[in-house]
Structure 1
Amino acid sequence: MPRVAIQLLTYRSLHSIARLITCLKSQTFRDWELFAWDNSCDSREQEVVRSTLTNSALSHHLIVSEQNLGFTAHNRLWQMHQAPFVLILNDDCFLEPMYLEQVMKRMERAAFGEPRSSDERDDRCAAVTGLIYRERGNSAIDTAGLRFECLGHVVDDHDVHLEARQVFGVSGTAALLRRSAVESVSPERLPFDPSFFMYKEDVDLAIRLKRKRYTAWLEPQAIAFHARGVKETGRGWLSRIKDELARPIHLRTQTYKNQWAIYFYHFSWELGWKDFLWTCWHEKKRSVSLFIFGGPVAFFRTWREIITLIPGWKERGKILRTL
């Protein structure tokens, strides 16, 4: 059994799959096996993915799905192996040759190996990310880990960090996870909430790991480039408007519902009044954005669905608090 399973989801990846496989073949760390899941539901794309993987000569397993399962297809791949470490990888994220080697070194140094200093020792390390830049030929940071501002606003850290450091959590773009830690914080012993489809699943996982006092690390020596599909253009209101106009309506409603699931799963008054008030502020902006850019019909339809989901969310929240 390999030490690392690389889990790859493909969707509309005709123009990226060849480059991605080339990046995987160039990895200096070799003790891994590829598990791929095609979500495209398109016969042409399926054939391209299949032939590219076959011609690569990489040890791999490919599942061609008849329906798009979104990011939760990672749960299916997770059940196909027992690798102690798993790299969750987007099909539009391209790894530099030493990416896997560097994140594995950080995982082992933090959680298992001899630290270079007492500050570096971390027996609870559950996740590691590299420093991931935006594609498109600029030096902008796509993610240096997740930053917790309040329960309603857990975001990618876009700052440059030159030293390894603990972070709140890791983005699902190119995340190395420790199986034993992840399974200990899930009722299903799976990495992601089965109901999420896509968006916020990495935030939910980060909160669950944090609640059980696991830690996550950034290893800036591990470099990757992310050709983000819906590119975040900045942090201001104008940038937010541009982002929302570029995002399909079903994705806007999905992320909105998942954010409300996170509230029911993880809200606690122990977070404090400041967290509560900031969460209310961010949720107000999020709701206004969906109402304006999604339209009243989509907004109220989403809320009808949320109301039907609340009992299940409450029950799952109780279960998560017992883990």
Structure 2
Amino acid sequence: MPAAPAHVPTVGVITVTHNSGRFLDTYLRALEAQTTQPDRVVIVDSGSPDSSFLDQADSSSLPLDILRLQNVGFSKGNNLGWERIRAFDYVLFLNPDAFLAPDFIARAVAYMQANPKVGLVTPSLIRYDIATKTPLDMVDSTGVVRGRYGLIVERDQGLPVAALSKYTEPNVVPWVCAAAALGRREALESVLENGELFDESFFMYKEDTDLAWRIRRAGWLNIHHPALTGLHCRGWQSRKQMSRTVRLRAARNEASMYAKNHSPYVLIGTLKYLSVLLFDL
């Protein structure tokens, strides 16, 4: 009797857009160039005043599922997308301004298949200028860590790309950046809160760190893999470019994240929130 064919892991992609027209063509081309194609790509538009930029996806060869919604936020947008690919073996959380190397899905899935304790894996991200379509000599992220004064920061952000040479093997990080992160279905299912994957009370900002924190607390590993690479534009370059409303929401979410994950750094998070609320820092 012939052996049953080996199971081929399935991969779904979730992307939440909001006024993302200038990124979409590059985003689609990067996914179309993957040596292992995703089985489904769910794009959730969260309240773009003019979502017609999504019409250019009509000519894409990708298996697309596009939802055009009111401004539900990054957390709920991802949750709605996840419900459509929940049965897939792996979920790639991918920002519309993040463009992955052609071998990303193939390499990431192979690594996850060989390392069953890994819950999330993230690449080395390099900053990209969408206006000139040029990679910059600047690291965007190699995972998320605790920095000065106990604050949570993107590791290596702002360093020259040559700094990435210090990473020769996959390495454990406390948290990952969901601009580009591949998650294992079993890990994601193990950390649901009231049926939610991302905490919708966060709306946006720190929701990815909170998810990675829950995954780590559940006994899974968060990994930065230096052989996985991608480009990321990032909507802001420094806190000075963020509006007070955005800084206030991010600080509030950080304090909430510390509290819900029983972190002793909740005091630091609260002080950061108050510094924005009272002194606009």
Category of TM-score, reference length = shorter chain: 0.7 to 0.9
Distance 1:67 1:282, change over 3 A: closer
Equivalence map 1:105-124=2 (5 Å): 105-111=110-116, 124=117
Tell me whether 1:60 sits opposite 2:82 in the alignment.
no
What corresponds to 1:248 in structure 2?
A: 243
What corresponds to 1:138 in structure 2?
A: 136
Which one of the candidate residues 39, 44, 55 is aligned to 1:37? 44
Cα distance in 2 for partners of 1:110, 1:229 equals 33
Equivalence map 1:57-136=2 (5 Å): 57-81=61-85, 82-111=87-116, 124-136=117-129
Q: Larger % of helix: which?
A: 1
What corresponds to 1:240 in structure 2?
A: none
Q: Which has the greater radius of gyration? A: 1
What corresponds to 1:47 in structure 2?
A: 52
What corresponds to 2:181 in structure 1?
A: 175
What amino acid is aligned across from residue 174 of structure 1 in structure 2?
Answer: A
SS at match of 1:187: coil
Number of residue equivalences: 260
What corresponds to 1:8 in structure 2?
A: 15
What amino acid is aligned across from residue 103 of structure 2 in structure 1?
Answer: M
Shift of 1:293: 2.5
Q: Larger % of strand: which?
A: 2
- Could you give the per-residue CA deviations for residues 137-189 of structure 1, whole angstroms, max 9, x where no partner exists? 32221111121459952221116223211221211100101121112112234
| TM-score of the aligned structures, taking structure 2 as reference length | 0.84
Cα distance in 2 for partners of 1:265, 1:289 equals 21
Shift of 1:62: 0.4
Structure 1 segments unaligned to the other structure (5+ residues): 112-123, 233-242, 269-274, 295-323
- Which moved further from structure 2: 214-223 or 280-289? 280-289
Cα distance in 2 for partners of 1:196, 1:68 equals 11
Shift of 1:282: 6.2
Shift of 1:220: 1.1
Cα distance in 1 for partners of 2:112, 2:26 equals 26
What corresponds to 1:19 in structure 2?
A: 26
What corresponds to 1:301 in structure 2?
A: none
What amino acid is aligned across from residue 89 of structure 1 in structure 2?
Answer: L
Structure 2 segments unaligned to the other structure (5+ residues): 1-7, 130-134, 157-162
Contact 1:99 1:222 in 2 (8 A): yes
Distance 1:151 1:263, change over 3 A: farther
Contact 2:121 2:223 in 1 (8 A): yes
What amino acid is aligned across from residue 32 of structure 1 in structure 2?
Answer: D
Contact 1:27 1:96 in 2 (8 A): yes
Distance 1:290 1:103, change over 3 A: farther
SS at match of 1:138: strand
User: Aligned-residue CA RMSD in angstroms?
Assistant: 2.3
Identity of aligned residues (%): 25
What corresponds to 1:235 in structure 2?
A: none
Cα distance in 2 for partners of 1:135, 1:173 equals 13
Contact 2:254 2:269 in 1 (8 A): no
What corresponds to 1:153 in structure 2?
A: 151
SS at match of 2:84: coil
Cα distance in 1 for partners of 2:193, 2:277 equals 31
What corresponds to 1:287 in structure 2?
A: 274
Shift of 1:286: 5.0
